[in-house]
Chain A
Amino acid sequence: MNYYTDNKVLKHYLKHPLMQRIVAMQEDNYSQAEQFNYAPMDFEEAVLGYEQVLNLVGELCAEVIAPNAKEIETEGPRLEDGRVIYAPATERNLELFRKAGLMGISMPREYGGLNFPRTVFILIEDIVCRADAAFGNLWGLQDCAETILNFGSDEQRNRYLPRVCAGETMSMDLTEPDAGSDLQSVRLKATLDKETGQWYLDGVKRFITNGDSDIHLVLARSEEGSVDGRGLSLFIVDKKCGAVHTRRIEDKMGIHGSPTCEIVFNHAPAELCGSRRMGLIKYVMALMNGARLGIATQSVGLAQAAYNEAVEYARSRKQFGKTIINFPAVYEMVGTMQSRLDAARSLLYETARNVDMEGQFNDLARRRPLTPEERAESKLFAKKADALTPIIKGMGSEIANLNAYDCVQVHGGSGYMRDYVCERLYRDARITSIYEGTTQLQVVAAIRYATSGFYAQLLDEYLSVDVPETLAPLRSRIENLAERYKSAVERVQSFDNQEALDFMARRIYEMAAYSLMATLLLCDASSDGELFASSLSRFVALAEAVVAGHAEYISNFTIEHLSNYSKQ
């Protein structure tokens, strides 16, 4: 079994036209081949290399990671003298991935990384999370190294990044008991010993994924007396200092293999990462955007796993003398699961490419000043990345939950038993629409792009793609979706009332999301009809139903309606 080769959709995203440019920038026009014996000489070799690594990941995930998931979930991590002890199978997974050289995927080669572009990292993460979402967290946190790479000092990069590439784990310690969604109220105290120039951290962090990591990124209040986000700085804490302890591992609904910790900093020596006071407003914002894309990927991986489990069960289970996949009530569910998955994945990789290009331009800008054209282009990629990330994080995670729900449903009574994988997927999926910003907060992050007309502009751009004759009818139906979305935005704006906008935001957001996913799936189907056309036609029908429902709600809405809620 191989989770890369059994899913042809993944390769499609490796072949996207923008990849040529992404890879050329990532490889600085293939200038590293002389210096590093594993650097590619051209685009063709780079893609061949990505495929070989994806193939390796697909094999390890199918043969080892997925089969280990149940043992890990049952055993879970435990706490011993302030330290987290992973389940033995988690240790085996980590060791396997270290030996396979998969711990520094996107780090530059000078620090011992593979120097893969963001989009390829996401492809790998997609596969890992399909096998085990909890292990996906531990492995995926290597992404925190990007923060040290982008904002740390040279000396910090040299000291920490090779350790990450060699397989040490990371965590981002942001949340506190009284600072969850509202990170501005972080209180963990950072004090500077003026004589030695050494920082120390004191306080408690809560709900920290992999909280006993080797290398911590910690958000702390460095400016005494400050109360908002501008008094916060970002710090690096090395576990080896011995002054950070875990005092509790949360007992969660799902992702049992990923320890969620309450950790105590007891005058822990820390290093400032980047500039003081920029912790939340710059670094954590960047870190969170990366993490949100990570959760979006985890969601797509879970949605894939749920679809696979459902389709396999529906093809083997017999009732009333035939396999249940032959009943319309079942094939409708399974077919819908696949089209939601494909649509979410189309949006995921469009987002990933924009995030990738944004990062490529940022890297380039550190090496030389950008030309005015490059600056303009870079800004547009950044804007698209920022607009699409909350859509795929929110919508992707909701789709993971819908697929997990339907997966259990397809299994019937068996799905409610612990014997099948689907009940784990159901519990694992539930966190995706909560952590790294709830769906409600993704709506808040997205809504300004709805009111500014940016999503409408994106829809027009994607709809201008050349489509083959056979897809023209679907394109005109998607154009109708886009029109309904635009009028709904207009209608909500016509109230000129902030509360009405906030109230309606979720519906506007979903209309935008379904229209965007439909257009992006149309783009994918235009370049590979065989893979996507059938899924697209199912998704358009589904999107029409969703968009029409919301449109109806919005057109019947009056301001007075709000009072029916506020009186609760």
Chain B
Amino acid sequence: MKLNIIVLAKQVPDTRNVGGQAMNDDGTINRSALPAIFNPEDLNALEQALLLKETNPGSRVTLLTMGPHRAADILREGLYRGADEGILLTDRAFAGADTLATSYALASAIKKIGSYDVILCGRQAIDGDTAQVGPQVAQQLGLPQVTYTRRIISLNEGMVTVERSIENGVEIVETSLPVLLTVDGTAAQCRPANAYRLLRFHRAAIPTEQAAEGFRYSKQIVADEALALKEWNLVHINGDAARCGLAGSPTKVRKVDNVIFKAKESKRYSAGDEDIKALVGELLANHTIG
């Protein structure tokens, strides 16, 4: 069965390698000081898409991201690893979006794509850690959703069976297509970039990049249409400006507190029953467990 698969991805600051200038004085992230990367769990989602494509020859994997022009980098990254097509949603009107406005823009873009069987995205992004965008997109499109996907067990005749993580184990659920799955970091790691694809797709570009001075691959893009990345704005997706960006975001950040962990000293407990009992009691009392 040929599937149309959409993978939602986000370019995020690499918060795993945080240096001294990582935070602005007001507590927000200084994006220019951190390398921009493909959100790790979105890579897990991409791998699930590519596995589906392997078992369903002729399927198509479209990568969709929202962000500034430089987010085209992760579209290329996705192409290097096996995606077929990349779409960048970019418009000043999208700036400052919270999760609701983001999911509205993404859902509008998916409607514009039109035909889809499976939408995959990471469980959450490492910058915001909300885990809201995936579920909200499903909601806006009126689709069934499975969160915390570890593995797609089977997909046929309009049904999909998925193994998902739950608190103390896994759960196997079945639902109908089309479906949105959010994938977590315990799922299969994404395959590496492929050298042949690197050599071909490093020329892929959005129209803005193609128009920039010094762009060398216009001829190749005409000859090889897979190199033409799409660039959509508010008008392309028939979006309502009032529901996008800052204007469409009910979330207001009132203030950001810098939390500095002060406790430096460690406590020692002996291996005796008494001490362990005291430790458990203390952990229960401060709600670390239980």
Contacts and interface: CB of A to CB of B under 8 A. Distances in A.
A53 B192 contact: no
A96 B192 contact: yes
A101 interface: yes
Interface in B106-122: none
Contact of A114 (B199, B219, B224): B199
Contact of B199 (A38, A44, A60, A99): A38
Interface string A11-53: 0000000000000000000000000011111001100110011
Contact of A56 (B198, B200, B216, B220): B198
A56 B219 CA distance: 26
Given A37-B224, A99-B191, A114 B202 contact: no
Which bracket fits the contact residues of B? 10 to 19
A100 interface: yes
Nearest to B227: A37
B193 A40 contact: no
Given A99-B191, A99-B192, A100-B192, A53 B216 contact: no
B70 interface: no
A306 to B, nearest CB: 26
Interface string B183-222: 0000000011111111110100000000000001001100
B192 A60 contact: yes
B191 A38 contact: no
Given A52-B198, A53-B198, A101-B197, A41 B192 contact: no
A40 B193 CA distance: 18
Given A48-B202, A49-B202, A52-B202, A101 B220 contact: no
Contacts of A102: 195
A39 B202 CA distance: 12
Most central of A44, A53, A60, A96 by chain B CB within 10 Å: A53
A96 B197 CA distance: 15
A53 B80 CA distance: 11
Contact of B193 (A39, A41, A48, A100): A100
A56 B193 contact: yes
B200 A38 contact: yes
Most central of A38, A41, A45 by chain B CB within 10 Å: A38
A45 B200 CA distance: 11
Given A48-B202, A49-B202, A52-B202, A38 B192 contact: no
Contact of B196 (A38, A48, A60, A96): A38
Nearest to A113: B196
Nearest to B81: A99
A259 B62 CA distance: 42
Contacts of B200: 37-38
A173 B176 CA distance: 56
Contacts of A96: 192
Given A37-B224, A45-B216, A101 B202 contact: no
Contact of A99 (B194, B198, B219, B224): B194
A49 B198 CA distance: 7
Contacts of B193: 56, 100
A407 to B, nearest CB: 27
B194 A100 contact: yes
A552 B199 CA distance: 54
A297 to B, nearest CB: 19
Nearest to A115: B199
Which bracket fits the contact residues of A? 10 to 19
Contacts of A40: 199
Interface in A478-529: none
A52 B191 contact: no
A53 B199 contact: yes
Interface string A37-76: 1111100110011001100100010000000000000000
Contacts of B195: 53, 56, 100-102, 114
A44 B203 CA distance: 13
Nearest to B220: A41
A293 B202 CA distance: 31
Contacts of A38: 196-197, 199-200
Nearest to B195: A101
B241 to A, nearest CB: 39
A52 B195 CA distance: 8
Interface string A83-107: 0000000000000100111100000
A175 B173 CA distance: 58
A56 B201 CA distance: 14
Contacts of B202: 48-49, 52
B198 to A, nearest CB: 5
A39 B196 CA distance: 9
Interface string A175-203: 00000000000000000000000000000
Contacts of B198: 49, 52-53, 56
B224 A101 contact: no
A114 B196 contact: yes
A172 B193 CA distance: 30
B216 A101 contact: no
Contacts of A52: 198-199, 202
A268 to B, nearest CB: 34
A120 to B, nearest CB: 11
Contacts of B224: 37
Contacts of B197: 38, 101
Nearest to A100: B192
B93 to A, nearest CB: 34
B193 to A, nearest CB: 5
Contacts of B219: 41
Contacts of B192: 56, 60, 96, 99-100
Interface in A96-147: 96, 99-102, 114
A53 B201 CA distance: 12
A48 B200 CA distance: 11
Nearest to A33: B220
Give the top 8 A-B pairs by smallest Cβ distance, nearest first: A101-B195, A38-B199, A38-B200, A100-B192, A101-B194, A49-B199, A101-B196, A52-B198
Interface of B: 191-200, 202, 216, 219-220, 224
Interface of A: 37-41, 44-45, 48-49, 52-53, 56, 60, 96, 99-102, 114
25 contacts: A37-B200, A38-B197, A38-B199, A38-B200, A39-B199, A41-B220, A44-B216, A49-B198, A52-B198, A52-B199, A52-B202, A53-B195, A53-B199, A56-B192, A96-B192, A99-B191, A100-B192, A100-B194, A101-B194, A101-B195, A101-B196, A101-B197, A114-B195, A114-B196, A114-B199
